[in-house]
Amino acid sequence: MTKVAVVLSGSGFLDGAEIQESVITLLTLDQAGVAYQCMAPDMEQMHVVNHLTGEVSEGEQRNVLVEAARIARTAVIDIALANPNDYDAVIFPGGYGAAKNLSDFAVKGAESSVQEDVLQFSRAFASTGKPMGFVCIAPAMIPHIYGADASLTIGSDADTANAITEMGGIHINCPVEDFIVDEARKIVSTPAYMLDVRISEAATGIEKLVQKVLEMIHGK
C-alpha cells in the first residue's frame, strides 16, 4: 500500500505547521486511499506566538513533536526514528514552523540551515529518487536538501524569492491554484498561504500538489 510521510513543524501558522495546509494535505491523501505517517523533530520551538495577538509569549516554550500531535491526533513519530525506505513520498506543509523549527530561514534567510534530523531524513529520502512535495514557505528548504538548481515556488514574494535564488534555487512565480514541478528531481511545490488567499483557493493548489506527488510515485 502506498504510504506518504507528512512532516509537521508544530501547530499554528505563526510558530509551527499551518493547520489548514496540514489538514488539507492529510484529507487529500486519505480521500485518495493513501496511508500517511505524520512526523516531526523532537525539539523545542524557536519561540511560542500568541495566535490571538500575534505577539511572542515571552518565557513560554513548547516542543515541536508534542505540538504536532495536536494535528496528527497523537499519531506522530519522531523524524529521527523514521526510515526513509518505509515511504513512497514525503510532503512538507507550510507555516512559519518550517522556517523557524525545521529550518532557521525566518531568521537567517540565505544563510539558513535545516534542522539536523530533518535534513538527514530528507536527504536520505531524496537520494531514493522518490517524489517530495513542499507547501507555502517549506520550499525554502529545497536548496539545502537537493543542492543548487532545483526549481521551486513560494508564490511571488520578491524578497523570499531572492533569498532562495541566493541559496542556489531556481524560483518560479506561481499562482495559488497551481504548482511547480522539478521533473528531474521529482519535487512539487505550491504557494498556498504565502499568498493572501481564501482557504478554498489554498486547498486547490494543495490538492493538485498531492495528486501530482501521487502520480509521480507511479511514474506519471
Residue 92: name the closest of 215, 9, 212, 27 by CA: 9
185: its cell numbers:
528531481
Distance CA 208, CA 198 (A): 16
Residue 66: name the closest of 56, 52, 78 by CA: 78
User: 163: part of which helix (H) or strand (E)?
Assistant: helix 158-166
Residue 174 bears catalytic tag: no
CB atoms under 10 Å from CB of 185, counted, come to 19
| DSSP, residue by residue, 11-76 | SSTTTS--HHHHHHHHHHHHHTT-EEEEEE--SB-S--B-TTT--B-TT---BHHHHHHHHHTT-E
Catalytic annotation, pick one of 68, 118, 136, 181: 136
7: its cell numbers:
512532516
Which residues are catalytically annotated?
136
